[in-house]
Structure 1
């Protein structure tokens, strides 16, 4: 969710030098250690096939709806997630994001939307974390509170959504090919969200909290059942919100939200460093192509959320005085 840059003097061009040094170091490492010899040709072919399929599905939107390639591809990848992981989890996570933005604006009254989103998610996790042992975790409580938040904050929320929409169109138009590549790679990373929950840590611990809240309406802080029961993770609490709402696991959709939040924070960081739009999109593409990013999409590890928050904190440290 790129956002328009605020009007302040950009830093000098030499601040982009670390980015190019990183590219040079990567190429040098590939050459020195012959990394191409370790590439799994079959996996590369699968990824290229998925990207080609997404482009094929996006072509009608581009041809007959006049959408940019980046926007059309974004719609396709989101549609594929809804197909593979369920429409209701996607809707529930979208509702959580809207409510989080409204709540975040109570603290972050001005400034980029990603700051408000992440702040709101932290508030939700914190409040629900204290209420875990109480029998209040029901679809009607979550739903009614979420609707109330959105209704009360609808004007500010509408303004934020318009800002994101305008910013997206402007930045895509500034570098359409780079934008399409970044969206394609982010979509490819999101395919990890299509998979069912299979990782050992998730099955042994992380899924316990959302499922207890769904089935029992409360969480038993009982270490005799699980050694980590007294250390409920904020990420697991947030996983429970859409699951309680729609009575179905929603890990994939929430992980996509973390991916988008991390990308938006990285965009803000690169903007503050004075990068041109094409280089900002290239930064997002490089980040989305990291193998660990795609791997995190398939699990419930805390690094998924922590990555987005860490990048946002780095961007916040570079904000002009008084921003945010």
Structure 2
């Protein structure tokens, strides 16, 4: 109890954390009011019909209604369609004997992972369209509607039983998860999304295939599982579907924490508290507003560990499907290369166990499924660049697309020491582009529980695995996001420990305080939330979405208006902080980190305050439009634009769009951007 109380007291006395708590209170109140309205309306309808629904179910439906209202019916329907098709596929591949009533999530998970993993192999093929996706989805539902009904019935029974056993804890967990989902309602505003993660979906939507243009976007062939999932949902609904992806991984993560706690022997209502603790972590909410993959990695890792803990090796074979194990391992590798640390340990253990049972058929199936789900980006990276993990370790592979050095971000090498847990909690900006408190409070508050977890059995094994693997990742790069999967597992382990102690109500109360405190730290994860993006959205309602976007990422509004003109253009993003080429795929270049050639040209131009080198670069490439924020504009850029005859075409907030009216973009589009299309080059080689 002492670490929990001490951490809460220190957090309350810390100026930044206390301000975060106070600043979150209006947000919490607005959220409760927002969810209460549909929940009460549903309760009234149910009462009139003479039926009963659990409070947790009413709150779940209330949160779902709020999601539909703020995000839109089309995006919600796209996610529901994918889940339905995945359930049909999962039922086809997962025998009833390997589909226990307590793990119905495996059916949908398996389907989604196989669909997205298989789609990764087809990204360069010009075949992707909304009509094709919808036709295939509808055909699958028509042919498999009986299986869909079976899967839905099983999931409903499992939910009802879990809620009926502990209704109060279930309602609390749903409330916390719903609060964590609010950032997912926001439009795509993070720089990495607009510069990299959204590019694949926009290329599929506009061109019908991925260009694999690593010259313009270094991470075009990096592990792309999450971007492929986003692209799939985007094509199904017709526009950006990042909110659906964020909501999906939040639900999968909460179910993973519940499932892992249950597998490790959590008693009474504690599996629900494990789900609530996971949802309360500030980074859990943050990952809902971005396509960064660490939240997805945490969710799948907990499901994989739960499946391993639940394996029964007493018979001649294991009681788990190699399809599920392989798909989970493969998806983790397809999300991020650093997940190799987690997958490597688990994969070796699973291989050893299958070999010990001489169950070579299941072992081969597991490996094959993992390879299909995981390997597409690595194979294409090898074919295009010669480096399977491009741009990482290029000092070894020496791909011509990147300098022959091992990629490394020097910002995140603060070092590892005994004080790291304290610094992560109260000096978080050393370890992420965030503020104090973004790491949550668990690193300090749960130390006592982790020590008790080392007493033996599966609990000790999972604790050692999570701590050792997380420490190994952290020792290489001291970046908070990268260790989030380990933090999620360790949080669940602590909840299981509390459930085994005497006086469980006392420990449950301590966990409730910790969970509530962590909910108050969500604004510390990014400047977007700290400056009130969530509050502006909830205060203004769904109609405020465009206003929030214009206030925080005005470039999106500028590009939307430019694209609405349906004219050809070639755009230069002229400052490195807004390399938003995903907003104008195949029509733009940027001077930021993602394009080494353009970055080198811009660096050379910045040394000439007269603007002469900017004039030369813009003329040689043939840009017709230039976007930048004057306060951050490179020296000499504005004089160069005026000399070349560019005029201010449009502005939004701090962002400006300059254009040379009547200029022909052909030289830029055909002479510079088109040759970077690696898929076109590969197809011509085949011919």
Answer whether TM exceeds 0.5 for this pair: yes
Which residue pairs with 1:264 in the alignment? 255
Count matched residues.
302
Equivalent positions of 1:164-175 (< 5 A) are 164-175=155-166
Alpha-carbon distance in 1 for matches of 2:64, 2:305: 28
SS at match of 1:88: helix
Which residue pairs with 1:42 in the alignment? 23
Alpha-carbon distance in 2 for matches of 1:267, 1:208: 34
Kept after mapping to 1: 8 A contact 2:253/2:278: no
Equivalent positions of 1:1-324 (< 5 A) are 25-31=3-9, 34=12, 38-39=17-18, 40=20, 41-65=22-46, 66-109=52-95, 110-111=98-99, 112-231=103-222, 233-321=224-312, 322-324=318-320
Structure 2: runs of 5+ lacking an equivalent: 47-51, 313-317, 321-687
Instruction: Indicate how the Cα distance of structure 1 residues 24 and 51 shifts in structure 2: closer, same or farther if over 3 A, else same.
Output: farther
Name which one, 1 or 2, has greater alpha-carbon Rg: 2
Instruction: Indicate how the Cα distance of structure 1 residues 24 and 93 shifts in structure 2: closer, same or farther if over 3 A, else same.
Output: farther
Kept after mapping to 2: 8 A contact 1:197/1:203: yes
- Farther-moved stretch of structure 1 (223-232 vs 180-189): 223-232
Kept after mapping to 2: 8 A contact 1:101/1:113: no
Instruction: Indicate how the Cα distance of structure 1 residues 277 and 260 shifts in structure 2: closer, same or farther if over 3 A, else same.
Output: farther
Which residue pairs with 1:16 in the alignment? none
Alpha-carbon distance in 1 for matches of 2:240, 2:11: 42
Alpha-carbon distance in 2 for matches of 1:177, 1:232: 40
Q: Spell out, residue by residue over 1:52-82, the C-alpha distance to the aligned partner (whole angstroms, 9 max, x if none).
A: 4312431232244132221111111111111
Kept after mapping to 1: 8 A contact 2:35/2:59: yes
Kept after mapping to 1: 8 A contact 2:59/2:175: yes
C-alpha displacement at 1:239, in angstroms?
0.4
Q: Alignment RMSD, CA only?
A: 1.9
Instruction: Indicate how the Cα distance of structure 1 residues 146 and 25 shifts in structure 2: closer, same or farther if over 3 A, else same.
Output: farther
C-alpha displacement at 1:204, in angstroms?
0.4
Which residue pairs with 2:353 in the alignment? none
C-alpha displacement at 1:29, in angstroms?
2.0
C-alpha displacement at 1:35, in angstroms?
5.4
Structure 1: runs of 5+ lacking an equivalent: 1-22
Kept after mapping to 1: 8 A contact 2:126/2:208: yes
Alpha-carbon distance in 1 for matches of 2:223, 2:124: 11
C-alpha displacement at 1:275, in angstroms?
2.4
C-alpha displacement at 1:43, in angstroms?
1.3
Which residue pairs with 2:596 in the alignment? none
Kept after mapping to 1: 8 A contact 2:246/2:288: yes
Q: Spell out, residue by residue over 1:204-260, the C-alpha distance to the aligned partner (whole angstroms, 9 max, x if none).
A: 000000011011111101212211112251000010112112211111122211111
Q: Spell out, residue by residue over 1:275-314, the C-alpha distance to the aligned partner (whole angstroms, 9 max, x if none).
A: 2342111111111111111111111111132121111111
- Report the TM-score when normalising by structure 1: 0.87
SS at match of 2:78: helix
Alpha-carbon distance in 1 for matches of 2:262, 2:64: 26
Q: Which is bigger in relative contact order (C-alpha 8 A, separation at least 6)?
A: 1
C-alpha displacement at 1:106, in angstroms?
4.4
Alpha-carbon distance in 1 for matches of 2:236, 2:41: 34
Alpha-carbon distance in 1 for matches of 2:104, 2:119: 23
Alpha-carbon distance in 2 for matches of 1:78, 1:24: 38
- Farther-moved stretch of structure 1 (37-46 vs 68-77): 37-46
Alpha-carbon distance in 2 for matches of 1:105, 1:266: 23
Q: Spell out, residue by residue over 1:91-124, the C-alpha distance to the aligned partner (whole angstroms, 9 max, x if none).
A: 0111111212222344433322222322222212
Alpha-carbon distance in 1 for matches of 2:207, 2:13: 50
Alpha-carbon distance in 2 for matches of 1:229, 1:217: 16
Alpha-carbon distance in 1 for matches of 2:291, 2:279: 18
C-alpha displacement at 1:24, in angstroms?
5.8
- Farther-moved stretch of structure 1 (274-283 vs 69-78): 274-283
- Farther-moved stretch of structure 1 (108-117 vs 214-223): 108-117
- Farther-moved stretch of structure 1 (231-240 vs 199-208): 231-240
Instruction: Indicate how the Cα distance of structure 1 residues 55 and 244 shifts in structure 2: closer, same or farther if over 3 A, else same.
Output: same
C-alpha displacement at 1:32, in angstroms?
5.0
Which residue pairs with 1:17 in the alignment? none
